[in-house]
């Protein structure tokens, strides 16, 4: 029983780390949602994406979650007419990052919910471990 609870804590711990990193990437995307290039016609910030993978923990036999890679979204940039912007091309158009703040906020909310669920799972596993220890002491 204790081994299963230990594995549950490892699984949830890996989930906490993965979702924390996911929230960091989403925050970076939101912070750069208006970051244009520095020179005329230069590409602006490109949205980052996170890909997860499952990895077997040989010691516990548990399947843990890890971040496989942090990539970039290849969606096209939008353009905005801002002739005074240093990043404007010859026609006065500036490329705008391919970051959709609504999508990022939804992604952050999902990551937050997953993070919270993992915290609750760890709390429950610790509580069950404590109950097992108490039962062993009293028997």
Tens digit of each residue's pLDDT, the chain (139 residues): 557 778 888 999 999 999 999 999 999 999 999 999 999 989 999 999 999 999 998 887 889 999 999 999 999 999 999 999 999 999 999 999 999 999 999 999 999 999 999 999 999 988 988 898 888 888 7
Q: Count other C-beta atoms under 10 Å from residue 18's C-beta.
A: 22
- The secondary structure of residue 103, as a DSSP letter, is H
Count of domains forming the chain = 1
Q: From CA 108, how far away is CA 114, in angstroms rounded?
A: 10
**What's the longest Cα–Cα distance across the chain?**
82
Q: Given this model, what pLDDT does residue 120 score? A: 96
Q: Given this model, what pLDDT does residue 1 score? A: 52
Q: Given this model, what pLDDT does residue 136 score? A: 87
Q: Given this model, what pLDDT does residue 45 score? A: 97
Q: From CA 4, how far away is CA 16, in angstroms rounded?
A: 18
Residue spans of alpha helices (H) in 1-139: 2-31, 101-138
Q: Given this model, what pLDDT does residue 2 score? A: 52
Residues spanned by the domain of 67: 2-138
Q: Given this model, what pLDDT does residue 138 score? A: 85
């Amino acid at each position: 029983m204790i081994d299963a609870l230990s594995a549950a804590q490892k699984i949830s711990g890996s989930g906490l780390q993965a979702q924390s990193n996911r929230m960091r990437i989403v925050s970076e995307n939101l912070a750069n949602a208006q970051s244009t290039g520095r020179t005329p016609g230069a590409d602006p910030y490109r949205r980052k994406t996170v890909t997860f993978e499952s990895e077997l923990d040989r010691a516990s036999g548990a399947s843990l979650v890890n971040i496989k890679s942090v990539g970039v979204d290849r969606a096209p940039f939008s353009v905005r007419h801002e002739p005074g912007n240093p990043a404007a091309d010859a026609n006065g158009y500036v490329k705008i990052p391919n970051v959709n703040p609504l999508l990022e906020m939804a992604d952050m909310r999902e990551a937050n919910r997953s993070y919270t669920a993992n915290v609750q799972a760890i709390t429950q596993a610790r509580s069950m471990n404590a109950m097992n220890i108490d039962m062993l002491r009293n028997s």
